[in-house]
Structure 1
Amino acid sequence: MEVGAPRIWIHLNRIRKKQMEEKIGTGHSLHDVVSLLRVIPSI
């Protein structure tokens, strides 16, 4: 779990960066959230 946690933070930071820089609608952010939800259970 200690190894997996930093990956999530890196992923979350990437999502935030994308949303802040591109400011795309819900389509892109929804995709990122879904992929993040798939990553979390695998830890």
Structure 2
Amino acid sequence: IYGMNFEFMPELDWKFGYPTVLLVLIALTIFLYRKFRKSGWL
């Protein structure tokens, strides 16, 4: 997301924008890991 060349990214000015993005990415990673593990794909 941050490597893309957008001119308008309002989340860059948010006080907790960076930690929020990190938490969402970590939560998504854990969710997908558990889902794939339960499905037998991992």
**Which has the bigger relative contact order, CA under 8 A and spacing at least 6?**
1
Which has the larger helix fraction? Answer: 1
